[in-house]
Amino acid sequence: MRSLIRRRARIDRPDPAPSRLAYRVQRLLLTPLFHSILRVGIPAFLLAFGAGWLMRNETLREDLMAEVLAIRTSIENRPEFMVAAMAITGASEELIEDIHEVVPIDFPITSFALDLDAMRDVVLGLDAVADVDLSIQAAGILAVDIVERTPAVVWQTRQTLEILDAEGHRVGPIESRAAHAALPLVAGEGGDRAVPEALRLLAMADELEGRVIGLQRMGARRWDVVLTEDQRILLPETGAELALARVMALDAAQELFDRDISAVDMRLPDRPTIRLNPDALDALWDIRGLSTIRSDQ
């Protein structure tokens, strides 16, 4: 008898495993070296080949450079990139003129032609400028924000009169003392290097009620306080503020500078010395009966 179950015909299926050649090709495609050649090697070769061909063709190269330059120029000269004016804030009229002189710009000019870092270095080179910030505003304005040095003292040398700030930095020359009479006077070699100390001493000497003319640097190492009536306070090289405080206390107690003296010498703090004027010294010797002895000598 025949079986009622129909047998399935046997089907020959292909082997799913790749051939040896296909396997090697797939492995090659997966290697990092092959990926690097595809990503870098071939584009670099094409680029080098194109550049070499372009370099050999002079006419095409010049045309290409001219086209690139024209495109760049058209972009740079667009209205949104143009700077029409310069606005300077925080500076005096004299300093504004100096800035225009050291940074001459013909407006309008494209912002791509402005080297703000180089311009900042040039403006900082001016004596009166402590700091500067440059920026291009949306309205096509080159904004120059200046921090100007504040004059603190007039420094007198043998040749010139100059204004210094509180740190001793040069602000600029002046022609006469009268133009800046409100500023205290500092004189002598090396005075510019000791301005902070000079300002502290001048603040202490305010108690002398207008007697102070200024400070004179002696030997580039110490100060003399110059007063009216040809009076002086000779301060030591070190501890000048303490020595001046002692003189101020003595004047407050004894009205020292209302007397006929020429100087208070504090160069030896342990041995302060008061010098009398010649007339006062003669009068003192007369009182003590020493005038005859002096004449005999």
Examine the domain organization and report whether 122 and 239 are in the same domain: no
pLDDT band, very low/low/confident/very high, at 18 (cuts 50, 70, 90): low
Residue 123's CATH number: 3.10.20.310
Examine the domain organization and report whether 257 and 236 are in the same domain: yes
Total domains, the chain = 2
Examine the domain organization and report whether 204 and 290 are in the same domain: yes
Examine the domain organization and report whether 181 and 104 are in the same domain: no
Q: Which of residues 114, 148, 182 is at a domain's end?
A: 148
pLDDT band, very low/low/confident/very high, at 3 (cuts 50, 70, 90): low
Q: Which of residues 96, 117, 148 is at a domain's end?
A: 148
In a domain, 14, yes or no: no
In a domain, 89, yes or no: yes
Residue 294 in this model has a pLDDT that exceeds 50: no
Predicted local confidence at residue 179, as pLDDT: 85
In a domain, 236, yes or no: yes
In a domain, 121, yes or no: yes
In a domain, 194, yes or no: yes
Predicted local confidence at residue 72, as pLDDT: 73
Please say whether the beta carbons of 185 and 214 come within 8 A. Answer: yes
Predicted local confidence at residue 122, as pLDDT: 95
Express each pLDDT in 83-121 by its tens digit.
889 999 999 999 999 999 999 998 888 888 889 999 999
Express each pLDDT in 162-187 by its tens digit.
999 999 999 999 988 888 999 999 99
| Residue 111, token pair as written in the block | 């912002």
Predicted local confidence at residue 187, as pLDDT: 95
Examine the domain organization and report whether 95 and 206 are in the same domain: no
Examine the domain organization and report whether 168 and 138 are in the same domain: no
Examine the domain organization and report whether 163 and 291 are in the same domain: yes
Rg for the chain, CA atoms, rounded: 43
Predicted local confidence at residue 284, as pLDDT: 47
Average pLDDT taken over every residue of the chain: 83
Give the residue numbers spanning the domain of 95.
79-148
- Give the C-alpha separation, 259 to 256, whole Å: 6
Residue 183's CATH number: 3.40.50.11690
Express each pLDDT in 205-261 by its tens digit.
988 878 999 999 999 999 999 999 889 999 999 999 999 999 999 999 988 888 888
Residue 11 in this model has a pLDDT that exceeds 60: no
Examine the domain organization and report whether 123 and 241 are in the same domain: no
Q: Are strands 212-218 and 222-227 parallel, antiparallel or unpaired?
A: antiparallel
Examine the domain organization and report whether 192 and 290 are in the same domain: yes
pLDDT, mean of residues 48-70:
72
In a domain, 281, yes or no: yes
Please say whether the beta carbons of 246 and 266 come within 8 A. Answer: yes
Q: Which of residues 148, 183, 199 is at a domain's end?
A: 148
Helical axes 58-76 vs 42-56, angle rounded to 10°: 100
**pTM for this predicted structure:** 0.67
Examine the domain organization and report whether 136 and 162 are in the same domain: no
| Residue 213, token pair as written in the block | 């003319």
Residue type for position 256: L
Examine the domain organization and report whether 86 and 183 are in the same domain: no
- Three-state secondary structure readout of the chain: CCCCCCCCCCCCCCCCCCCHHHHHHHHHHCCHHHHHHHHHHHHHHHHHHHHHHHHHCHHHHHHHHHHHHHHHHHHHCCHHHEECEEEEECCCHHHHHHHHHHCCCCCCEEHHHCCHHHHHHHHHCCCCEEEEEEEECCCCEEEEEEEECCCCEEEECCCCEEEECCCCCEEEEECCCHHHCCCCEEECCCHHHHHHHHHHHHHHHHHHCCCEEEEEEECCCEEEEEECCCCEEECCCCCHHHHHHHHHHHHHHHCHHHCCEEEEECCCCCCCEEEECHHHHHHHHHHCCCHHHHHHC
In a domain, 265, yes or no: yes
Examine the domain organization and report whether 104 and 166 are in the same domain: no
In a domain, 256, yes or no: yes
pLDDT band, very low/low/confident/very high, at 296 (cuts 50, 70, 90): very low
Please say whether the beta carbons of 267 and 238 come within 8 A. Answer: no
